[in-house]
Structure 1
């Protein structure tokens, strides 16, 4: 069941589903409402109305959200610059990409990447203790052997 179906709006019409699939498949394309409507064999106003019914936003706003979502994924998973990512998802201007990202996510793309990497690093640092109880472990025991992190018998008896 889709989020739209759970919301009580019913399943997406084929034209709407196909339009979203086309947008997702080519985020870098400079989609226009006229082009999307023509591809869906609907008028611009009908397409816009169906999108608002189905998703609560017009097609171009949904496209912006899809771009932000992909931009966030690329910020997390790649070392591409914000400019490169912006172009890849369809924004030619870094300022516009950053503005749209910040409007949707509440932080700039650079801050998002920094926060994500700090959280990931912190999570990795948190895993340096005993996996059984979480207590920090010294690097070596008295015999200079590496301590086990899966329930060290010298700590847990």
Structure 2
């Protein structure tokens, strides 16, 4: 199966709070992690795909992403968001007093939405934003008792979601998650052997599905066809090699799964926006300045 992203948490308090501008290539691919995640969109717009469900988002929207949710994001324009990541153990002691404290995560997609839009119960949504922004402020302060404030704000946020955003459980509300493990395994195969000349038929055969069925299920989960997703993985890998290695463009093309240099240059220009040589100069120029 596709391996989880390793999220490094501080040992003394297993939470991180940060501001993200745009979406890095690492998170434009389908991924999952064991940490729980909360996002507040503070500006701009974009798209999330979570367990095969596509969500357009804009400023003021809040996202809850559970452990093991298979997800990816890509920006529209001028995207900025607050990202909170924390270990479930941070609220485990609360189960004694409130056994349902984790339901907003554990039942996303059925009892609770992954996305809480800015126009849903405006007063409650405003409080969610207030708690998240307070957590951002506290996390980067040096004030005493800041961990207590962070913990308290997190509990208030979860209680607010539980009170105001529970939805009727219907068949339509549940995302189609039956085949997500198969999708994870297919992506792991691609990522572990980018140089291989994968075909749709081969990927479908390994998933024990017809090419058309496999393509439909994969597209639902990833937001693009299997072969387009493979192309994105290869181009992302090529960008990493351009920045981090001294390999020639031809060697990078070959190690990223492109057998034809002119085809690599053409696709790189189309999807990345500039030739590989120009991208290398830009990336290595940034590295030398930092």
TM-score (norm 2): 0.40
Unpaired segments of 5 or more residues in structure 2? 1-30, 33-47, 55-174
The SS at the match of 1:4 is strand
RMSD across aligned C-alpha pairs, in angstroms? 1.9
In 1: Cα distance, 2:226 partner to 2:196 partner: 14
In 1: Cα distance, 2:234 partner to 2:191 partner: 8
**Structure 1 residue 122: Cα displacement:** 2.9
**Structure 1 residue 120: Cα displacement:** 2.2
Which is further off, 110-119 or 30-39?
110-119
In 2: Cα distance, 1:115 partner to 1:108 partner: 11
Query: Residues 56, 111 of structure 1: CA spacing in aligned structure 2 closer, same or farther, 3 A cutoff?
Result: same
Please point out which of 108, 114, 125 is paired with 2:275. 108
Aligned residues: 123
Unpaired segments of 5 or more residues in structure 1? 124-157
The SS at the match of 1:85 is helix
Higher relative contact order (CA 8 A, sep 6+): 2
Cα shift readout 1:92-130 (whole Å, capped 9, x = no counterpart): 11111111222221111110000112222233xxxxxxx
Q: Which structure's residues are more often helix, by fraction?
A: 1
Other-structure match for 1:96: 263
Q: Which structure's residues are more often strand, by fraction?
A: 2
User: Residue 59 in 1 paired to residue 226 in 2?
Assistant: yes
**Structure 1 residue 5: Cα displacement:** 2.0
- 8 A contact 2:51–2:221 mirrored in 1: no
- 8 A contact 2:53–2:220 mirrored in 1: no
Other-structure match for 2:50: 5
- 8 A contact 2:50–2:221 mirrored in 1: no
- Give 1 or 2 for the bigger CA radius of gyration: 1
Please point out which of 205, 216, 219 is paired with 1:49. 216
TM-score (norm 1): 0.72
In 1: Cα distance, 2:284 partner to 2:188 partner: 30
